[in-house]
Amino acid sequence: MSTNEKTREIIYVVDDDEAVRDSLSWLLESSGYYVKCFSSAERFLQTVVGNDREITACAILDVRMPGMSGLELQEHLLAESIPMPIAFITGHGDVTMAVSTMKKGAIDFIEKPFNENELHTLVEKMLIQARSSYKNANLQKNNQNLLSKLTGRERQVLERIVAGRLNKQIADDLTISIKTVEAHRANIMEKLNVNTVADLLRLALSEKTS
């Protein structure tokens, strides 16, 4: 995958109908979007889970496909914690199915033949969410990388700082001197690249919510 491709926002289209893939690709590319099409959910997963996890992207999935269905693909993406907004396109009106996919996080559910303006509105809505999701995912990944630099003892001190323990209390908890606690605090702040306790708490707590 080229560097230029990595920096693009991608609209994935997953549909076993070649005519639908071609139509969607033409409509979206003519509006300036970068589109990648797949004829099956299985082929899509081989690419996305393996290579494209950190690319800002959204996906338009057909509900009914041979092999893995669009609904099963949605479940797989949720299980893999891939922060990719998705929408479904179907030629079969099914309100119950629509409600089910929306409850699991789908952005929308539209029927074939689709309206071009509605399609563009939907894609923009998904990309806005994708930018936010991937930004948060990258931030959490960066925070986890920073936290992984801490030693076991520094982790123990950090946990107690987050719990609101004072230096003297931390020293008593760990049977170490206050000066040693202060040294650990200084090392923690340096390794995590933070200047204030508030920033330290924000970073530490982000791990608990990720």
Give the pLDDT confidence of 181-191 residue by residue, as tens digits: 999 999 999 99
Q: Give backbone dihedrals phi and psi of 60, rounded to 5 degrees, phi first.
A: -110, 115
pLDDT digits (tens, 9 = 90+) for 13-30: 999 999 999 999 999 999
Separation of alpha carbons 188 and 59, rounded Å: 40
**pLDDT value, residue 203:** 87
Residue 131 reports pLDDT greater than 90: no
pTM for this predicted structure:
0.66
Give all domains of the chain, ordered by start, each with its CATH number: 3-137 (3.40.50.2300), 149-209 (1.10.10.10)
Separation of alpha carbons 199 and 114, rounded Å: 47
Give the model's confidence band at 6: pLDDT under 50 very low, under 70 low, under 90 confident, else very high: very low
pLDDT exceeding 70 applies to what percent of the chain?
A: 85
Separation of alpha carbons 91 and 87, rounded Å: 14
Q: By three-state DSSP, how is residue 127 classified?
A: helix
Residue 45 reports pLDDT greater than 70: yes
Least confident interval from 21-35, 81-95, 146-160, 164-178: 81-95
The whole-chain average pLDDT of the chain stands at 83
Q: Give backbone dihedrals phi and psi of 124, rounded to 5 degrees, phi first.
A: -65, -40
Token readout for 129 is: 């969410």
Token readout for 159 is: 């946990």
Q: Give backbone dihedrals phi and psi of 38, rounded to 5 degrees, phi first.
A: -135, 140
Separation of alpha carbons 143 and 120, rounded Å: 34
Residue 71 reports pLDDT greater than 90: no
Residue 74 reports pLDDT greater than 50: yes
Q: By three-state DSSP, how is residue 36 classified?
A: strand
Average pLDDT over residues 193-206: 86
What pairs with residue 10 in β-bridges?
34, 57
Separation of alpha carbons 171 and 175, rounded Å: 6
